[in-house]
């Protein structure tokens, strides 16, 4: 279904600036190399009214997050370490509110939520496999998306939450306004909301078009996030930039108006986003990267493989025309992906523990974890695809 109105404000003023053709669902790994993967358009537009960047094609949630969804946050050691530090930050800064109860929206497999199990807590997530794992960890989880309607039911039965966390979830929702309405309804005047999302300015500066896939429906600046939250009487009272997913922003929301110096500083730094010129060069840069990356793969002697079957790897390989004829296999740490194939390109996924000791050339799909991956696997050559293709080692 093609979107005709903004996910946050409802405006019909959507201007497309990036077209990556068609691509399979990023996390729908196939059982065989020749299994046909349904393909959907990947087109990105900006709302002329509230400046939210969003996908134009809206794939149904049951297709994206049903039984085939294979993203498990605990499969990544760096991400698990990040979640532990995240929880420590929340408990250190908002311990009093957390004692009243923590709700995590989009809790996935409970990798973050498990750090709040000693408190009243609830996770809410629509993905079948990750929810089952979170429950196995002893977390209290509802398997459904958050909406205003579900938030009303939860507050009626449990009362308001002290802390509501939405960690990299607003990117995935079909209706940003409805999700933020749900978050607001779970909060009272003493509550805090903590929302982290990929940071649009970093995506643009890093040419990170591979972060565009069907599960990522929305891309935020502080300006667009403030506007979306403000429609539901939520105020951004603090903000900080983090390095998650190649650059993210974490904001603290409250029903009481206030803001820190950091909010004002980041907001001022985004003035360049007000011009459409900030976006219109993205198409040409993506096409240049596609050409150069394929040439770099073809220039390498011997076997070239992939490291990291991340969602963004599916976009990168399909857009750049890099299939199993050019890339022999892919190593990944996620058990649910191993033994399967990257959709659309038929590249087999192997356990990362099987990485050969002799020198190979790896295209680093999980480029946002480049440093720890390269340290753990010395003696190889590495192709970093972004912000411009580069050979290291």
pTM: 0.90
CA distance 361 to 340: 21
For residue 125, what are the domain limits?
Answer: 73-279
pLDDT in tens, 82-128: 999 999 999 999 999 999 999 999 999 999 999 999 999 999 998 88
Q: Do the strands 304-307 and 330-332 form a parallel or antiparallel pair, or are they unpaired?
A: parallel
Q: What CATH number does residue 235 fall under? A: 3.40.50.150
What are the φ and ψ backbone dihedral angles of 319, each rounded to 5 degrees?
A: -65, -35
CA distances, 115 to each of 18, 91, 112, 120, 163 (Å): 39, 9, 6, 11, 13
Query: Does residue 87 contact residue 104 with C-beta atoms inside 8 Å?
Result: no
* Model pLDDT for residues 278-320, shown as the tens digit of each residue: 999 999 999 999 999 999 999 999 899 999 999 999 999 999 9
Please indicate, yes or no, whether residues 78 and 159 belong to a single structural domain of this protein: yes
Q: Which of 261, 279, 297 is the last residue of a domain?
A: 279
- Into how many domains does the chain fold? 2
Last residue of a domain, one of 230, 253, 279: 279
Residues 167 and 261 in one domain: yes
* Domain identity same for 301 and 211: no
302 in a structural domain:
yes
Residue 81: other Cβ atoms inside 10 A = 11
Question: What's the N-to-C CA distance of the chain in angstroms?
Answer: 44
Q: Are residues 319 and 340 in the same domain?
A: yes
End position of a domain, from candidates 279, 311, 328: 279
* Position 357 pLDDT exceeds 70: no
Statement to judge: residues 186 and 209 lie in one domain: yes
DSSP assignment, residue 220?
B
Asked, for residue 176, whether it belongs to a domain, the answer is yes
pLDDT at 360: 86
Q: SS3 for 189?
A: coil
Strands 381-384 and 390-392: antiparallel
Q: Are residues 364 and 219 in the same domain?
A: no
**pLDDT value at residue 127:** 86
pLDDT digits 0-9 by tens, 10-66: 999 999 999 999 999 998 999 999 999 999 999 999 999 999 999 999 998 778 776
> Which CATH number does the domain housing residue 364 bear?
3.40.50.720
What tokens were used for 35?
A: 């299994």
What DSSP element (H or E) covers 190?
none
Return d(Cα 169, Cα 127) in angstroms, integer.
12
211 and 301 part of one domain = no
Is 3 within the bounds of a domain? no
pLDDT score at 60: 86
- Percentage of residues in the chain having pLDDT higher than 70: 98
- What are the C-alpha distances in Å from 377 to residues 274, 331, 371? 42, 11, 10
pLDDT of the residue at 333: 86
pLDDT in tens, 188-235: 999 999 999 999 999 999 999 999 999 999 999 999 999 999 999 999
Report the alpha-carbon distance of residue 151 to residue 154 in Å, rounded. 5
Of the candidates 261, 270, 266, 295, the residue with the CA atom closest to the CA atom of residue 205: 270
Rounded CA-CA distance 31/105 in Å is 30
């Amino acid at each position: 279904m093609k979107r005709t109105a903004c996910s946050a404000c409802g405006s019909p003023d959507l201007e497309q600036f990036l077209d990556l053709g068609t691509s399979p669902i990023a996390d729908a790994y196939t059982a065989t190399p020749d299994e046909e993967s349904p393909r959907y358009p990947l087109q990105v537009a900006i709302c002329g009214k509230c400046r939210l960047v969003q996908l134009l094609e809206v794939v149904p949630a049951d297709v994206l997050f049903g039984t085939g969804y294979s993203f498990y946050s605990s499969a990544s050691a760096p991400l698990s370490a990040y979640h532990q530090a995240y929880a420590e930050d929340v408990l250190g800064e908002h311990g009093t509110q957390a004692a009243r109860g923590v709700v995590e929206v989009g809790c996935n497999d409970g990798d973050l939520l498990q750090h709040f199990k000693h408190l009243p807590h609830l996770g809410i997530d629509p993905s079948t496999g990750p929810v089952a794992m979170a429950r196995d960890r002893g977390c209290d989880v509802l398997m459904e998306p958050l909406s205003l309607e579900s938030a009303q039911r939860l507050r009626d039965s449990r009362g308001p939450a002290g802390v509501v966390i939405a960690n990299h979830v607003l990117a995935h929702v079909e209706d940003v306004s409805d999700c933020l309405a749900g978050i607001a309804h779970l909060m009272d005047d003493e509550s805090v909301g903590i929302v982290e999302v990929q940071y649009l300015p970093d995506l643009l500066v890093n040419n990170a078009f591979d972060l565009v896939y069907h599960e990522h429906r929305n891309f935020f600046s502080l300006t667009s996030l403030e506007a979306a939250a403000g429609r539901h009487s939520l105020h951004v009272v603090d903000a900080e930039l983090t390095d998650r997913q190649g650059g993210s922003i974490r904001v603290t929301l409250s029903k009481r108006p206030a803001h820190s110096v950091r909010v004002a500083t980041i907001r001022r730094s985004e003035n360049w986003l007000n011009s459409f010129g900030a976006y219109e060069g993205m198409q040409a840069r993506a096409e240049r990267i596609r050409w150069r990356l394929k040439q770099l793969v073809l220039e390498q002697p011997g076997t070239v493989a992939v490291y990291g079957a991340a969602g963004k790897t599916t976009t990168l390989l399909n857009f750049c025309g890099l299939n199993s004829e050019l890339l022999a296999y892919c190593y990944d740490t996620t058990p649910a992906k191993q033994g399967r194939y990257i959709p659309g390109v038929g590249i087999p996924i192997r356990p990362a523990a099987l990485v050969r000791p002799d020198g190979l050339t790896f295209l680093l799909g999980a480029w946002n974890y480049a440093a720890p991956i390269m340290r753990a696997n010395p003696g190889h050559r590495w192709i970093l695809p972004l912000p411009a293709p580069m050979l290291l080692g």
